[in-house]
Amino acid sequence: MKKSGWGVWIVLVAAFLMLAPSGRAVAAEPIIIGCPLPTAFLYGWDAERGVRLAVDEINAQGGVDVGGEKRMLKVELIDTRDLEPGVPVSEALLAVEKLILEKKADFIVGGPVRSEAALAAMPLLSKHQKVSIVTSGVLSPKYHAMVAQDYDKYKYCFRIHGEAKQLVTEIMDCLEHIKGTFGLNNLFIMVQDVAHARAAGKILGDIALKKGWTVSGTEIFPTGTGDFSMGLIKAQKAGAQVLSLWMDMPESSILLKQWYDMQLPALPFGSTLAAAEQPGFWKATEGKGAYCLANVVNAGNAPSNATPWTMKFYDAYTEKWGIEPEGLGSSSSYMAIYTLKDAIERAGTLESGAVITALEQTDLMGVYGRVRFDPKSHQVIPSYDPQEGAVGSIFQWQDGKRVVVFPESIAMGKIILPPWMKMKQ
Amino acid sequence: MDIFIYGIFNSISLALMALGFALVYGISRVPNFAHGALYVVTGFLTWGFLRTLHLNYFLSILLAMLITGIVGALIYQLILVRVRGMAISEIIASYAMGLAIIEGFRWWGFKGMTYTLPVFVEGSVTIAGIPIDWQRILVVAVGGAVVGFLWLFTHYTKVGLALRGMAQDERASLMLGIDSDRMAVVAMSFGAMLAGLAAIMLLPLGNIVVEKGYDVLILAIAVCIVGGLGSWMGAVVASFLIGFAQIFTVVYLGAHFQMVVALLAIIITLILRPSGLFGRQKELEERV
């Protein structure tokens, strides 16, 4: 009797220990952030680093509040290879589908990065009703135009960084500033044979002509070009004073080396010029990248004081990854996670419809200014004033440093000309 | 004038890229599809010795080329010798090796644009109003020297003559006591070092990226098919044909058609003269 009493007690205690909740609350399922990114390329790995930094910070603060329940964020990443020459768009689509179906991603953040691949992924996101925020590359104006044209179908797609038309506006304003300051007015356009660059080059050429510039030529280079000599000679013969460069391929650094070696009297002005955006560019080109201007799309990708958060992000990124923010996808990818967190918390659910509504109502002061989306096109609203919208950032390589020179509201220095151009002047 | 100057440079660059491939095929009849990978290997090895171990530049080059030569020999000795004579297997095996090497570099983190080599001579010069940098002039000089050296080597040295004998008639060479496999290893090693030399000369003009391995392979194959597989002289002539055709295309049609030239050259050659300009493998069929 006594024995069986003890036995009952032992069984009861064991059952209690097994079934009772431990001191720690049962962890809720993490929110899966699917990142389809070309990790071998700058615009892939800078976006990944931006995302991971934000995720780590948010998780360290206890995660995301979803309707009163704290949930952690988890990153699932698949290499899309969509920036590599010769890789078909279908590869990127497979990556997106795998993230949704196999990795059970709740949201898609980052890519695909190549405009062609991102555009092709839009119907896929609609089919699976997955909210997506593109944060790196994807500069084609077609992306948000498609959302505006067929809202019901493409309402899941958001873009949190500047796009080609906005970039062209910023570049054109900066060019006007250069014309006013140095009297340069002959523009030669060099673009990579990809959708966003071709479109941007054409838009820039048309606007420049209207603004009284001489557009002396447009040269289109295939992805992977390793020699730009003939294009540069064409520019020289045409009397170019500014070279507008639209190319994200790594080989663009070859172009700048050749430009320097030829001492071409034309100021290189890049957009999505991946090679020149990286902090290691100066060392890699042994200073031959001097004087090159580069548009890094949003503030925070080069040092400035656009908002109190800008340098906080810049320093946190540098500390975590051992390198300064590297490319146009760094600050926007970081902000996308915070923007998504903000929207989920306001929606109180992960349900797509509610999150879309919350994202459309976003009004958040971030790394590169005020983050708001156009409710019709889901494009982030740009501005030269960080208090009003997402601010762009154009820097120039000066003495081994990336000095932000435009827009005026966040400029840290002034544009300077190479000595061989000063002499000609 | 600009077409002439940059046409010469472009042609010599193509010749440098293709000679190694042509040499290996000429001697061992093995199409070495790891050729592009060996180009990249030399680049990264030189970078590693120079930037990480801080060795002297020329010592770094020497070590990198020696290692590349050994890698080439090992690829033949350990892999290709087992499938020798089976054309498809040779292509698959060598391409797989190349793929493993190139993608291995990517996997190890060799990505991005910051891997560069310094030029040998800084600055540029203006010839007839056309600016050209000294490194490109050096490429032309070295390319010319390599072609000259190869001719002398294959005409006046014992090993060179043995290689030539193998290239002309393997069975007759075997009857004269020339070791076919040994010569193939020498050719493979030599071809790898030639790919390395091309890398050493051309990579300082840009940066070292893994994708370059695929580009170099495509261009080398194009040059060798047009020139005639196995013909070194054919490779040189084809380099000039394709090199100038590319420059003409850039000037008169636009830079984005440049990549089409090499592929178009392959197609046209295979339709009109499958043996290539100096090739002999389908000579009888073509005569018939």
Closest Cα in chain B, distance from residue A129 (Å)? 33
Which chain B residues are closer than 8 Å to A258 by Cβ? 133, 205
Does an H or E element contain B17, and which? helix B2-28
Chain B's closest residue to A285, CA to CA, is B116
Cβ atoms of B228 and B278 closer than 8 Å: yes
Q: Which are the contacts of B158, defined by CB distance < 8 A and separation ≥ 6?
A: none
* pLDDT for res A89: 87
B19 CB contacts (<8 Å, ≥6 apart)?
Answer: B146, B147, B150, B194, B198, B232, B235, B236
Q: In the predicted model, what is the mean pLDDT of residues B240-259?
A: 86
Residue-wise burial string across A27-58, b where 16 or more C-beta atoms lie within 10 A, e elsewhere = eeebbbbbbbbbbbbbbbbbbbbbbbbbbebb
DSSP H or E stretch at residue A282: helix A281-284
Put simply, the answer to whether B255 touches A219 (Cβ < 8 Å) is yes
CA distances from B90 to A158, B30, B34, B76, B81 (A): 49, 7, 11, 10, 9
Q: Between residues A26 and B101, which one has the greater pLDDT?
A: B101
Q: Which of A41-45, B20-24, B58-62 has the highest mean pLDDT?
A: B58-62
> What is the mean pLDDT of the segment spanning A316-333?
92
**For B204, nearest residue in chain A (alpha carbons):** A254
Q: Tens digit of pLDDT for each residue in A62-120?
A: 999 999 999 999 999 999 988 876 788 888 999 999 999 999 999 999 989 988 899 99
- Under the banding of pLDDT at 50, 70 and 90, the label for residue A247 is confident
Q: Do A230 and B114 touch (CB under 8 A)?
A: no
**CA–CA distance, A179 with B145 (Å, rounded to integer):** 48
Residues of A in contact with B124 (CB under 8 A): 261-263
Q: Out of A5-14, A36-45, A291-300, B211-220, which region has the weakest mean confidence (pLDDT)? A: A5-14
Backbone torsions φ then ψ of A192, nearest 5 degrees: -85, 150
- Rounded distance between C-alpha atoms, residue B129 and residue B278, angstroms: 37
Alpha-carbon span A50 to A334, nearest angstrom: 4
Of B131, B206, B258, the CB nearest to A262: B131
Give the pLDDT confidence score for residue A15 in this predicted structure. 52
Average pLDDT over residues A369-376: 95
Looking at per-residue pLDDT, the higher value among A360 and A193 belongs to A360
Q: For residue B271, is pLDDT > 70?
A: yes
Instruction: Give pLDDT, residue A10.
Output: 63
B25/chain A closest Cα distance in angstroms: 26
**Residue A262 to residue B115, Cβ atoms within 8 A:** no
pLDDT for the residue A23: 41
Which pLDDT score is estimated for A46? 92
Q: Which residue has the tokens 């960080």?
A: A386
Task: State the pairing for strand pair A214-221/A186-192.
Answer: parallel
Contact list, A191 vs chain B (CB under 8 Å):
none
Q: What is the pLDDT of residue A24?
A: 42
Instruction: Judge contact between B132 and B5, C-beta under 8 A.
Output: yes
What are the chain B neighbours of A45 within 8 Å (beta carbons)?
111-112
Per-residue confidence at A350, pLDDT binned at 50, 70, 90? very high
Using CA atoms, how far apart are residues B117 and B98, in angstroms rounded to an integer? 22
- In the block, tokens 């080439």 appear at B72
Is the Cα dihedral B219, B223, B226, B228 positive or negative? negative
The DSSP element (H or E) to which A261 belongs, if any, is helix A252-262
CB pairs A-B closer than 8 Å: 108
Nearest CA distance, B49 vs chain A (angstrom): 16
Q: What local confidence, expressed as pLDDT, does residue A253 receive? A: 83
B106: which residues sit within 8 A by CB, 6+ positions away?
A40, B210
Put simply, the answer to whether B255 touches A278 (Cβ < 8 Å) is no
- Substitution target in B51, B57, B113 with the highest count of A β-carbons within 10 Å is B113
Which of chain A's residues have a Cβ under 8 Å away from the Cβ of B51? none
CA distance B193 to A217: 41
Cβ of A219 and B207 within 8 Å?
Answer: no
Q: What is the pLDDT of residue A12?
A: 56
Residue A230 has pLDDT above 90, yes or no: no
Cβ within 8 Å, pair A222-B256: yes
**Looking at the complex, does the CB of residue B126 fall below 8 Å from at least one CB of chain A?**
no
- Range of weakest confidence among A317-331, A340-354, B157-171: B157-171
Q: Higher-confidence residue: A13 or B231?
A: B231
With 80 as the cut, is the pLDDT of residue A408 above it?
yes
Treating both helix axes as pointing N-terminal to C-terminal, what angle do B35-47 and B57-74 enclose, rounded to 10 degrees?
A: 150
Query: Of A287-296, B88-97, B158-167, B264-273, which range is least confident?
Result: B158-167
Q: Which residues of A touch B (CB under 8 A)?
A: 39-42, 45, 84-86, 193, 219-222, 224-231, 233-234, 236, 250-251, 253-254, 257-258, 261-264, 274-275, 278, 280-281, 283-286
Split at pLDDT 50, 70, 90, the class of A283 is confident
CA of A79 vs chain B CAs: smallest distance (Å): 12
Average pLDDT over residues B8-35: 88
Structural element, H or E, at residue A268: strand A267-271
Instruction: Examine the pLDDT at B283 and tell me if it is beyond 70.
Output: no
- Evaluated on CA atoms A355, A136, B104, B188, the torsion sign reads positive
Question: Looking at the predicted structure, is the pLDDT value of residue A424 above 60?
Answer: no
Contact A262 B251 (CB under 8 A): no
What tens digit of pLDDT does each residue of B199-229 get? 999 999 888 888 889 889 999 999 999 988 8
Cβ-defined contact of A253 to B247 (cutoff 8 Å)? no
3-class state of residue A369 by DSSP: strand
| B114, B139, B203, B247: best to mutate for the A interface, most A CBs within 10 A | B114
Pairing between β-strand A64-66 and β-strand A69-71 as defined by DSSP bridges: antiparallel
How confident is the prediction for chain A on average, in pLDDT? 88
Token reading at A285: 């080109």
The pLDDT of residue B284 is 54
CB-nearest to B113 from A39, A231, A253 is A253
B111: contact with A, CB 8 A cutoff: yes
Residue among B118, B123, B256 whose CB faces A221 most closely? B256
Confidence of residue A151 (pLDDT cuts 50, 70, 90): very high
From chain A, the residues in CB contact with B111 under 8 A are: 39-41, 45
A155 Cβ contact partners less than 8 Å away, ≥ 6 residues apart: A147, A356, A378
* Cβ–Cβ contact B15 with A under 8 A: no
Tokens of B222: 């194009």
- Alpha helices (H) along A155-251: 164-182, 195-210, 229-237
B255 and chain A in contact, CB less than 8 A: yes
On whether the CB atoms of residues A170 and A296 are closer than 8 A, the answer is no
**H-only helix segments in A285-372:** 308-321, 330-347, 352-360
Sign of CA dihedral B174, B177, B178, B181: positive
List of chain B residues whose C-beta atoms are within 8 Å of the C-beta of residue A233 = 2, 6, 130-131
Contact assignment for B113 to A258 by CB distance below 8 Å: no
**CB proximity B109 to A under 8 Å:** no
Which of B6, B206, B210 is opposite residue A253, by nearest beta carbon? B206
Instruction: Please say if the pLDDT value at position A385 is more than 50.
Output: yes
Return the minimum-mean-pLDDT range out of A26-35, A258-267, B122-131, B187-196.
B122-131
Burial (CB count <10 Å: 0-12, 13-18, 19+), residue A370: buried
CB proximity B218 to A under 8 Å: no
Identity at A235, one-letter amino acid code: A
Are the beta carbons of B211 and A224 separated by less than 8 Å? yes
Q: A52: which residues sit within 8 A by CB, 6+ positions away? A: A75
Residues in B closer than 8 angstroms to A193, CB to CB, are 256
- With bands split at pLDDT 50, 70 and 90, how would you rate the model's confidence at A20? very low
Q: Which residues of A touch B253 (CB under 8 A)?
A: none
Q: Summarize pLDDT for A168-193 with one digit per residue, the tens.
A: 889 999 999 999 999 999 999 999 98
